[in-house]
Amino acid sequence: YEKSGELLTMVAGCFYNLTSAETNDELQAIAMELSPKMSEYSASILLNEGLFARIKAVYDQKDKLKLNSAQQKLLEDIYESFANNGANLNDEQKVVYKELSAKLSQLTLVFGQNVLKATNAWTMLITNEDDLAGLKDDTKAMLRANAEKKGLNGWLLDLKPTTYIPVMEDCQNRDIRRELYTAYNTRAIGGEFDNTQIIIDIVNTRLALAQLFDKACHADKSLVKTCAESKENVYNFLDQLRESYMPVAEQEVAELQEFAKAKGFYATLQPWDWSFFSKQLKEEKYAISDDLIRPYFQKEKVIEGVFGFAKRMYGITFKENKNIQVYHPEVIPYEVFDQKGKYLAVFYLDFHPRDGKRGGAWMNNFQEQYGKHRPHVVNVMNFTRATDSKPALFSYDEVETFLHEFGHGLHGMLTQCQYAAQNGTNVPRDFVELPSQFNENFLSEKEFLDTFAKHYETGEVIPQDLVDKIQAAANYHVAYACVRQLSFGYLDMAWHTLTSPFVVPETLTATEAVIKFGDKAMAGVQVLPLVPGTHMQYAFTHIFSGGYAAGYYSYKWSELLDADAFSVFKAAKEKSGTIFDKKAADLYRKNILEKGGSAKPMDLYRAFRGGEPSIDALLERDGIKK
């Protein structure tokens, strides 16, 4: 059963990555046509009574069979996948299940497509350069190029991260910041690509599916196999973080308000003011900015550094191979080898934004690992391009994101599992971000930075005083960032702990009702004023089309684990003298990166750690607990 459908899995892995990384109208039309067929195909297997009877016959004898641990877990996972997808339902319920599953598949696909289309549909032409005061020359050159591509004269703003972030941070024209913020946070609200009814239908369909299985809500069904295990544990975790971080976040907002007043800004800080003044305060407090850091993060050197990190930690090497087929000329393909020169994987890097690529960054498999069959893994990002006068110079956040996605990539490349269903990132949501977030810890380490962070013009290694500033600024507005993530987690849980269908009150429009629901869910961690008529949930692909429904909390859960895991390396450094401690790295690789989902995740973590994780490492790293 595990080995069946290999060709479809491989083709689907390629196709669905293209619909995210290099899509077009034709691919999107195919995806729409395929969506119900794929749901029907999956349901036809999972609801096949004869097949399930044979699986159950083996499952019922599992205690008598001589199975290794991977086989035992595979048997349990396959049985539970059938049970969780309706195999134990009666005939009437199975029909309903198939209908709801197909509907949900279509809805989530449309949600994501609406977000991409709404993002691409918005532009704003600036014809007076004075309106762009504060923007860097590189940013203005990019905006000028955007306009020229469309045959326009001026500077063309869009909603891609490479435009949105620098404009929100640097543009002195508050009206433009407000307009860009409003456009970004009204994507898919109303108009041609409206997601209002899509959101309602998604949550109600998920609820109906959960209740088919006698679960009160979607979260009750989806959290069973996670580290958290229940909605109560998720809420307890979110509440614990809120109690620790919220007072500090409020202090951060008050401090920034006072700073803005000292700069002659007497209005209440609005969301479109936060990044603008936050960047200035950071530069004033720590004398640090992306302008100082970018020259040391040339794209090619960053790639060398990240690959060098993998070699120091795990002994693996990357060799570019231009004979490997790619889906876009910008994609760079590599062959990956272990410390003995044995082939491990094919790895693809896709760095820059395009109209056919959705925003954000992610890792995917084109081909899965199982046994001796090695994987093909891709990291997709949306980072700063080169200009006519400069090579591609990455921001600190972009390099951190690269390390994050590379952590997922290593999870996929180093995996050594008997079965594809258990390899690499095939782990619970609240464990999958551990390898990615763990990697981020190394970026502020001078020992790592010295291996690649060299000025693109002079070749000078990043100076110690700049690294000191980076480390000093590491916890800048960390509480604000935390409560922002908590707000997304609370929103996710609010939608997916509904125990009755969401109904629009007669006194409200559907849009008003959805926005009001979202505002209420996030109210407990709201530190900036609400902007009427806007809401991020309309483009919240993670929970409405990206597999994180009732699972967004997992980013913070994994953060607890990554801080605890990195504390092992910090302690080891005191003995070995290097943050790339070989003994700690071998333990981490053997128990976390190689094992994938072949055992219970917390058992794997305890095997690496030698005990239970503690929240103290996270609170100490963030400066919340001294």
Cα 451 to Cα 297, 313, 374, 509, 578: the distances in Å are 11, 13, 29, 57, 13
Active-site residue identified among 169, 368, 405, 433? 405
C-alpha 520/C-alpha 505 separation (Å) is 15
Burial 419-431 (b: 16+ CB within 10 A, else e): bbbbbbbbbbbbb
Q: Which residues contact 211 (CB under 8 A, 6 or more apart)?
A: none
Tokens in use for 68? 């290794």
Maximum pairwise Cα distance, the chain: 78
- Does residue 192 have an active-site annotation? no
Cα 595 to Cα 560, 582, 599, 614: the distances in Å are 20, 18, 7, 22
Burial 451-483 (b: 16+ CB within 10 A, else e): bbbbebeeeebbeeebbebbeebeebbbbbebb
With tokens 């053997």, the residue in question is 590
Tokens in use for 424? 């690499």
Tokens in use for 18? 């293209």
C-alpha 249/C-alpha 495 separation (Å) is 25
Bridge partner list, 333:
348
C-alpha 258/C-alpha 338 separation (Å) is 54
Burial (CB count <10 Å: 0-12, 13-18, 19+), residue 340: exposed
Burial (CB count <10 Å: 0-12, 13-18, 19+), residue 540: buried
φ, ψ for residue 443, nearest 5 deg: -65, -25
Active site residues: 405
